[in-house]
Amino acid sequence: MAQIISQTGFAHLTDLPCFRLQLGHATAVISAYGAQLLSYCPHPQQEVLWLSSEATWHNHTAIRGGVPVCWPWFGPAASQLNPDNVSLPNHGLVRNRLWQLEAHQITADSISLTLLITLNDLPYIDGSCELRLTVTLTEHQLTLRLHCNQPMLRQAALHSYFNIGNIRHTTVSRLPRRYHDKVQQTIVDNATTELTIQEETDRIYQQPGAELLIQTPGQHLQLKQHGHDATVVWNPWQQKSRQLSDVTDDGYLHFVCVESASLSLAQADTLDLSQTLSLERVDA
Ligand code: TA6
């Protein structure tokens, strides 16, 4: 069975406008608010993404979990993108706005859906700009593609929160050795290409490869990325988790963010950033 259903509500977010994609055993749910993928299950009950039980979307709040779309800046807006130095939200302007359904397609072996947002209030650009997010579900993988044809100065990220059971038993591998440690404010040359998180972690890896692996006992998630110039790995750990009103005190144990990003502000450019997820079960 292959279908796309428009539905109101997902999990505890009972009034959220969403689309549910189903292809055979695989399902995905994407919110029109933020064009945020909230769920990807290659098989029933096998949730790849983490969504905070405390997430909310009212009062212009960005939803904590799934795959938030960060655009046209990542983190706080850089001065080139905020010439008047006004107060702007973290991670851009599209996480907390409604997107429109632009197109959908069902073929024998895939379903895809494109959401569109048009902005005419970018603080550093005159006129309007269109950004699209296409989600494509096949039986064995899901691809998110964030694209914009207009060359412009911008950053972007697919800020994926992965459901990992227990952070202490999770490894992210195939990372570059060098990274910018945002917690310690230093550049680090690591001895390994593997990371097991044991403390607050906020790292920017420049020029990572096209394929990463997130391993937990019993399963391997392959993450392929394209159009990126950085990968960000984030976990707030205990103390920061407690400071986040939309994460429970032990919430940090259950997710890791591994984000495909395009962060360079060296020149105006179009955008074609994607992340493809495929889950492999591993015999214990
Ligand atoms: O991607 C990591 C990061 O930039 C962290 O520095 C952390 O603040 C996180 O994103 C979450 O940001 P948010 O605005 O969603 O609270």
pLDDT digits (tens, 9 = 90+) for 243-277: 999 999 999 999 999 999 999 999 999 999 999 99
Bridge-partner residues for 117, per DSSP?
A: 131
Which residue CA neighbors atom 6 of ligand 1 most closely? 202
Atom of ligand 1 nearest to the CA of 74: 4
Atom of ligand 1 nearest to the CA of 234: 2
Q: Is the pLDDT of residue 283 over 70?
A: no
Query: What letter does residue 171 receive in the DSSP assignment?
Result: E
* Residue ranges around ligand 1 (CB below 6 Å): 62, 75, 90-91, 159, 202, 232, 234, 257, 259
Tens-place pLDDT, residues 58-106? 999 999 999 999 999 999 999 999 999 999 999 999 999 999 999 999 9
CB 199 within 8 A of CB 212: no
Pocket test for ligand 1, best of 94, 234, 239, 259 (most atoms within 8 A of CB): 234
Predicted local distance difference test score (pLDDT) of residue 218: 85
94 alpha-carbon distance from chain centroid = 13
- Note the helical H segments in 7-132: none
Q: Token pair for residue 51?
A: 């969504």
CB 22 within 8 A of CB 3: yes
Show Cβ contacts of residue 182 under 8 Å, excluding neighbours closer than 6 positions. Answer: 202, 203, 204
Atom of ligand 1 nearest to the CA of 68: 15
**Cβ atoms < 10 Å from Cβ of 62:** 23
CA 212-255-18 angle, 5° bins = 95
The alpha carbons of the chain give a radius of gyration, in whole angstroms, of: 18
Q: Token pair for residue 183?
A: 């917690």
Active-site option among 43, 194, 259, 280: 259
CA 226-231-236 angle, 5° bins = 145
Bridge-partner residues for 211, per DSSP?
A: 224
* C-alpha–C-alpha distance, residues 153 and 232, integer Å: 20
Predicted local distance difference test score (pLDDT) of residue 157: 98
Which residue CA neighbors atom 2 of ligand 1 most closely? 234
159 is catalytic: yes
CA of 75 to the centre of ligand 1 (A): 7
Tens-place pLDDT, residues 11-68? 999 999 999 999 999 999 999 999 999 999 999 999 999 999 999 999 999 999 999 9
226 is catalytic: no
Phi and psi dihedrals of 98, rounded to 5? -80, 135
Specify the pTM. Answer: 0.97
Which residue CA neighbors atom 14 of ligand 1 most closely? 90
**Cβ atoms < 10 Å from Cβ of 81:** 20
**Banded pLDDT at 282 (limits 50, 70, 90):** confident
SS3 state of residue 182: coil
Q: Token pair for residue 42?
A: 């290659």
